[in-house]
Structure 1
Amino acid sequence: MEHQTFCDVFAETAAQYPDRTAVHADGRSVTYGELLRWSNAAAGRLLKDGAVKEEIIAVNTGRTAETIAGILGIWKAGCAYVYLDRAYPKERSENIIKECRCRFILDSRWWEEMDREMILPDINLSERNCLALLIYTSGSTAKPKGVMLEHRNVMASAYNFTVFETRPHERFGVFPGFGFVAAVSDIFSTLAVGAANYIIPGTIRKNIVELEKFYRMHGICITFLPPHMARKLLAMDLEGIPLRLLLVGSEPVRNLDISKAPFCIFNVYGASEMCSMISHYEIRDAGGKSVYPVGMLNHGLRGYITDEEGNPVRPGEPGELWLSGHQVSRGYYGLPEMTHAHYVPNPFSQETGHERVFKTNDILRELPDGNLQYVCRKDNMFKIRGFRVESGAVETAILECGDVKEAVVRAFMDDGGCNILCGYFTADHKVDVKELKGKLADKIPYYMIPTCLIQLEAFPRNMNSKIDRKAILPPAELNDHKLLEELY
């Protein structure tokens, strides 16, 4: 590949478009030339202060241009970054700093003490196979784990976005939190082509009315939204909105009414361990589907759908997706046993660049047309009355029964050691759960019908706007099966 790391790409882009906006945040615009200058100044200071190759440096400047300049500067100095989200509990950030042994924290004070206008020769000590960043998983109850991403992973991820044909004059509305891997692909794929990153302020990310105003005010052409926000946007009057492309992902995408959307919509499927997008699927069905395919794998990836013994499944059967290619990350920081369990030698091929596979822990199946269908997480397959039940199959059936917007199915063990299937859902009006169970009986076997169906006002969500399944608690009547069925 001509470019070894993103720093090479950015140097060329900045030389081509020095006066074009690279980042717009907090009401101000920063050009490519300024961003290059700031990043070189940051790299120069880090090197002067003794930063060493692959040292992990914390970034704590929020959703700002300084954060992006700091990341580039860290890479130019041959180091890696970890982003400290201000939405994190203080203890979590402190634990990350301690675990990563961060000597340097790029915060607002660090930038105030530096002459960012200093003119330095272009610095670039980044290397293709060196560590670029750590992405910490949500870790709602378990300890968060850091995914080690290398520069080759960032490059592969950025170039995947060529399928969306981002153009130099366009503006990308950056929605994800900067500690979420989707932000990595959004930001750096945009900077790779000379387009502008418009950072959506944290104060409006959960307010669809203000978000839609932001898109119109700033002429946003492309943006990413999680499914629950995409549904809200698609319910609005979108006449004249400048968007040409909406990317939807981070969790299964279902039931989108795209009949009035004046832009293209893609379902994007990804993982932190693969540096974001793995596959994409253009949603063209205006009638909506209970769950959309995730499409074809990115160019350069090889996928294998395997059974519990690691053998390929028959066409159409569900199995765990294993992946190989340049997007496969290094592993989990400080967790060698977990790394060895999920990253293994490729038993199907030793083609250069595909020697290792990442076991995604996701259950998928291949459809007759070659598109992949996401089923559920491997962790969300349960044994109910001796039968294997996939949560995704039950959730899909619930969503096909009427006006249900979102559904989650969990299994909880009662005091007698039995798994009790519990379904949770949201809707715009009160739903008769007895009637809902009756409809389910026409769609799925008896053992897949949840013992209880509980309507919620809204689902709990983690910092990445995903439904926080672990925060959904069992009903108080779990051990009284008869009462459970009567109440719900």
Structure 2
Amino acid sequence: HSNLERVVSEYNDTSKVIQPDTLYRLFERQALETPENVAIEFKDRGITYQELRVMSNRIARYLEMNGVQTNDFVGVIVNREIETIANILAILKTGAAYIPINPDFPKERQTYILQDGECKISLTPELAKSIISTYEESKSDSKASPDQIAYAIYTSGSTGKPKGVVITHQAVTNTIIDINSKFKVNARDRFIGLSSMSFDLSIYDIFGAFSVGATLVMIEDQRDVKTIYHIVKEKGITVWNSVPMIMEMLVNYMDEEEKKPSIEAIDYDELPDLRLVLLSGDWIPVTLPERIQDHFVDSKVISLGGATEASIWSIYYPINQVKKEWASIPYGYPLANQTYYVLDYNSELCPVGVKGELYIGGKGVAEGYLNAKEKTEASFIEHPSYGRLYKTGDVGVFTQEGYIEFQGRKDHQIKIRGYRVELGEIESVILEHRKVKNVTVINRKDKRNQDVLCAYVVGNQSLDINELKTFIGSQVPIYMVPTYIVQIE
């Protein structure tokens, strides 16, 4: 047993001096140092750090005039626009925290999040454009401090309502600074912004880039693989961060493209500027890393894992080569100042090779769920030996090789397109329909081995499946609407 303790404590010996910081200061410092660097490119626009700083200062002035103070929450409707990022920066500057709201979500869900988060005010890109053209810049220094809340991100909740994960500045900057130093991210890098800004991967895109003076190239639609391909190629993208499925889409497209007899002789060797590929949020197909390296010869592919509840990522594994016998890519080793444990039902260490539940500790652990004491107490525990831990609901095993292997979920939560989906949430929405008596939702694999949702419904004779689909779509995001709805006796 003491040997096990030793092995696990060595595995979790990740301490590294990272000065507590705020997301806003990471940006501001860089804006003063490299004002002329391009901060964001989107469609045909490019704006410098200095211009972005002025924009966000004007919005900050608007927030000050409207009584927004430190520790308030402010909603941001996160359309893919440069102004959305200016909105986020402005909120953080005032010492308030932002709650991102996906504009594609049904109105009811948007309203629920704004109310549940007690948002003082909410910002949209349209509002930002009018503020930027009429307001002076805020002259005050940033009011944010590292121990204050930076953001609350809403994720699917098992009881039918999403819950907001509350993260402080020091927790999230710890992750960002560590990743940048591990992979030597610098001012010459060019990030591609694929993830929705209501998803925490986007926080690394934005502030990973802004903390070093790099450029963020925003993508309008992450499903538009042709445009993604051209942007990677023509804009010299060097850093990619997404769920595995989007990268898989890109290499599939490239495989097809390169088979075609080309009218213009495209030299595919010109493509590889991409040097760093960060994949997380779902299983990485074991064949994918090699396929990526076939196209992007010099790229490093890194598997990352963790939870929104522990500041983007907590564990990583550089995929140098995939061994024949691997059933999955190793989950890996904890990031700086973070810890990972495999515990049994008594919250004690599982022996090497024995399955248990994964817990995350260290600097990234969330404050809890917003205005939800019971949910917080159920998921965040005070461990007698390991301090405050987040109980992930993931299952894994500590291997003989000295790293953790991920083995799926122990509950009814799954990932669809990288988004967290609680089957219970979908079921409770369907049960609200007056013609539905009973329902069960399960996930199955389609031909491409992707998860799809199937709902089996017991209802009145007059229940119309299309009408039910529309009803579900008015309550939950599109990725939570079951692909198949089957009426059963």
Q: Same fold (TM over 0.5)?
A: yes
Q: Distance in 2 between matches of 1:473 and 1:376?
A: 23
Deviation at 1:6, TM superposition (A): 2.2
Q: Does 1:304 align with 2:341?
A: yes
Residues 420-471 of structure 1: CA distance to partner in whole angstroms, max 9, x if unpaired? x99634249xxxxxxxxxxxxxxxxxxxxxxxxxxxxxxxx9xx99986x94
Structure 2 match to 1:456? none
TM-score (norm 2): 0.75
Specify the SS of the correspondent of 1:112: helix
Do the aligned partners of residues 466 and 268 (structure 1) sit closer, same or farther apart at CA in structure 2, a change above 3 Å counting? Answer: farther
Q: C-alpha distance in 1, partners of 2:153/2:93?
A: 19
Pick from 353, 370, 378 the counterpart of residue 316 of structure 1.
353
1:194-213 pair list within 5 angstroms = 194-202=213-221, 205-213=222-230
Match of 1:18 in 2: 35
C-alpha distance after superposition, 1:233-288 (max 9, x if no partner)? 23424642221122222111123241514122111112110121111212233677
Residue 31 of structure 2 corresponds to residue 30 of structure 1? no
Amino acid at match of 1:196: T
Question: What is aligned with 1:53?
Answer: 70
Question: Does the aligned pair in 2 maintain the 1:246–1:265 contact within 8 Å?
Answer: yes
**Residue of structure 2 in register with 1:155 after alignment:** 173
Q: Aligned-pair distance for 1:145?
A: 0.9
Between the aligned partners of 1:286 and 1:240, the Cα distance in structure 2 is 26
The aligned counterpart of 1:406 is none
How far apart are the structure 2 equivalents of 1:16 and 1:154?
A: 22
The share of aligned pairs that are identical, in percent, is 25
Q: Distance in 2 between matches of 1:206 and 1:131?
A: 32
2:468 equivalent in structure 1: none
User: Match for residue 438 of structure 1?
Assistant: none
Contact 1:226–1:465 (CA under 8 A) maintained in structure 2: no
The aligned residue for residue 270 of structure 1 is 306
Asked whether the 8 Å contact 2:83–2:129 carries over to 1, the reply is no
Gaps of at least 5 residues in structure 1 are: 350-354, 382-390, 393-409, 411-418, 429-460, 480-488
How far is the alpha carbon of 1:69 from its aligned partner?
1.4
- Alignment RMSD, CA only? 3.2
Q: CA deviation at 1:325?
A: 1.1
CA offsets, 1:45-75, max 9 Å, x none?
2112211221111112511221111111111
Which deviates more, 138-147 or 311-320? Answer: 138-147
Q: Aligned partners of 1:465 and 1:208: how far apart in 2?
A: 22
- Which of 249, 259, 279 does residue 315 from structure 2 map onto? 279
Aligned length: 405
**Match for residue 189 of structure 1?**
208
**Aligned residue number for residue 177 of structure 1:** 196
1:336 to 1:85, Cα distance in 2 relative to 1, 3 A: same
1:365 to 390, 397, 407: 397
C-alpha change, 1:359 and 1:26, in structure 2 (3 Å) is: same
Q: Is 2:131 aligned against 1:118?
A: no
**Distance (whole Å) between structure 2 residues aligned to residue 125 and residue 201 of structure 1:** 32
Offset at residue 7 of structure 1 (A): 2.2
CA contact (8 A) 1:279 1:294 kept: yes
- Report deviation, 1:476: 7.2
1:255 to 286, 295, 303: 286
Residue number in structure 2 paired with 1:41: 58
Residue 40 of structure 1, CA deviation: 1.9
Query: Is the Cα–Cα contact under 8 Å of residues 346 and 357 in structure 1 kept in the other structure?
Result: yes
Tell me the equivalent position of 1:340. 377
Counterpart secondary structure, 1:193:
coil
2:184: which partner in 1? 165
- Alignment correspondent of 1:388: none
Deviations 1:102-157 (A, max 9, x none): 23111134223324673443521002121111101145983111111111122112
Query: How far did residue 228 of structure 1 move?
Result: 2.3
User: What is the CA–CA distance in structure 2 between the aligned matches of 1:206 and 1:298, rounded to whole Å?
Assistant: 30
1:426 is matched with which residue?
Answer: 447
| Amino acid paired to 2:339 | R
Tell whether the 8 Å contact from 2:84 to 2:125 is kept in structure 1 after alignment: no
Supply the AA of the counterpart residue of 1:240: E
In 1, distance between residues paired with 2:103 and 2:132? 25
1:423–1:34 Cα change, 3 Å:
closer
Identify unmatched segments of 5+ residues in structure 2.
Answer: 1-17, 259-267, 416-422, 424-439, 450-472
| Residue 327 of structure 1: how far off its partner (Å) | 0.4
Per the alignment, residue 246 of structure 1 pairs with 277
Contact 1:317 1:365 in 2 (8 A): yes
| Native 8 Å contact 1:323 1:357 kept in 2 | yes
Instruction: Measure, in 1, the Cα distance between the counterparts of 2:193 and 2:216.
Output: 6
SS of structure 1 residue aligned to 2:306? strand
**Which is further off, 281-290 or 306-315?**
281-290
| 1:346 aligned partner, one-letter code | H
Whether the 8 Å contact between 2:22 and 2:145 is mirrored in structure 1 is yes
Residue 424 of structure 1 aligns with an amino acid whose one-letter code is K
Q: Out of 339-348 and 112-121, give the one that drifted further.
A: 112-121
Distance 1:132 1:106, change over 3 A: same
Which structure 2 residues correspond to residues 3-152 of structure 1 after superposition, within 5 A? 3-115=20-132, 118-121=136-139, 123-138=141-156, 142-152=160-170
Shift of 1:307: 0.7
- Cα distance change on mapping 1:286 and 1:234 into 2, 3 Å: farther
| Superimposed CA distance per residue, residues 387-437 of structure 1 (whole angstroms, 9 cap, x where no aligned partner) | xxxx99xxxxxxxxxxxxxxxxx9xxxxxxxx9x99634249xxxxxxxxx
Shift of 1:223: 1.0
Cα pair distance change 1:323/1:422, threshold 3 Å: closer
52-61 or 144-153, larger mean C-alpha shift: 52-61
Aligned AA for 1:101?
E
Partners in 1 of 2:223 and 2:323 — Cα distance?
26
SS in 1 for 2:395: strand
User: Match of 1:435?
Assistant: none
What is the rounded CA distance, in whole Å, between the counterparts of 1:275 and 1:49 in structure 2? Answer: 30
| Pairwise CA distance, 1:31 | 0.8
Partner-residue secondary structure (3-state), 1:230: helix
Q: In structure 1, how many angstroms separate the alpha carbons of the residues matched to 2:61 and 2:351?
A: 55
* One-letter identity of the residue aligned with 2:29: E
